[in-house]
Amino acid sequence: MGYLLARLRHWAAHHRLAWWSGAAALAALAGLTVQSAAGPAACPDVIEVSADTPSGSLVEGERGVALDRGSDSLPLSVGDRVDLIAVDDYSPEGRLLVAEARVLDIEKHTVTVAVPVDGVAELTAARRWGDVALALVPG
């Protein structure tokens, strides 16, 4: 009988250890998730353009990216500033990709904007997996 009780205690201790190990792993994972979700997002870069830069041309540190205008086209003109907002499965409520991108060229179905070099990769990935909306910046 003593042997049976010893085995029962051993079994209970083993399962308690397994349960607490799993609970600790879940708590660590939840803590990492909360830290990554609460981490501050990097501010988008805005490149200042000097007054003598011709309208529709790129400056150092920028790349031109063509975007679809869609059916609800904004009344844009060359030199306007737009915010580029991604709406995809990653963030269905939308997330700011580039603030105050300059409009370089406008065609019937596309608009070309100047984007900082470090924002090009994220913008192209957002275009691949969802929509990129243009928001006209006043001024």
Beta carbons within 10 angstroms of residue 97's beta carbon: 21
Residue partners of 107: CB distance under 8 A and separation at least 6: none
Residues 39-86: pLDDT tens digits? 555 555 555 555 545 556 778 888 899 888 776 678 888 888 999 988
Q: How far apart are CA 118 and CA 62, in angstroms?
A: 9
pTM for this prediction: 0.59
Q: How far apart are CA 76 and CA 87, in angstroms?
A: 21
| 127 shares its domain with 73 | yes
Q: Is residue 57 part of a domain?
A: no
Q: Is residue 14 part of a domain?
A: yes
Q: Please report the pLDDT score of residue 29 as a whole number.
A: 63
* Residue type at 123 in one-letter notation: L
Q: Is residue 49 part of a domain?
A: no
Domain total of the chain: 2
